[in-house]
Amino acid sequence: RQAHPSKYFVDDTLSALKNTGTNVADTRLGGTVTKPKINIFDASKVLGDATAPTVASSRPPADSTGRKRAANVSVTFSEKMDTSTLSSYNVQLYLKDTGTPVSATVTPGADGKSVTLDPSVAKLEKGQLYQVVLWKSNYGIKDLAGNPLAGSGKYQQSSGGQYVYFYFKTGRR
């Protein structure tokens, strides 16, 4: 609280302590319990973080052509994210000019800096343009400090600012 007086809310502090701690397993009789060991220095960095995260890279790259229809889509962020915000509600895939998301499994990376969409169930169409949408509105994608995702470079932000997006095209085969 002393280092960041403007972030004195208990919820903010507790979240920072939980999200930056190193997990430690207690394996005594009665079952294993895993809890984070407090790392006060990393928690303090999170509380002082006011920088919005961005998309650092994607696979396939933004605006690419010829992606295999069964390959996964991966997005890497500029910093560790709140993995609870990396879900199918906030990370979606659309066939261009449609309003319904394509069915895809969304899996946050173990490092907290990435997310993978697996559209293999949907069997993407040949030679079509797809849009990856990363929602940033009220309950959207956020970093550990609670900063919402921002657009940058090829990863543009929608005109209303509700989401960050990019396109790719599948191959014809």
Query: What average pLDDT does the structure give for the chain?
Result: 86
What's the pLDDT band for 34 if we cut at 50, 70, 90?
confident
Tens of pLDDT, residue by residue over 71-85, are: 889 999 999 999 999
Residue from 55, 70, 64, 68 nearest 118 by CA: 70
20 token code pair: 């930056």
More confident: 88 or 17: 88
Burial 107-130 (b: 16+ CB within 10 A, else e): bbbeebbbbbbbbeebebeeeeeb
Backbone angles phi, psi at 41, to 5 degrees: -70, -45
- Give the pLDDT confidence of 154-169 residue by residue, as tens digits: 898 998 889 999 999 9
Alpha helices in the chain (DSSP H): 10-20, 40-47
- Residue 33, Cβ density class (10 Å: 0-12 exposed, 13-18 middle, ≥19 buried): exposed
Position 7 confidence tier, pLDDT thresholds 50, 70, 90: low
* Cα of 1 vs its chain's centroid, Å: 28
pLDDT at res. 8:
63
Q: What is the mean pLDDT of residues 37-51?
A: 77
pTM of the full predicted structure?
0.75
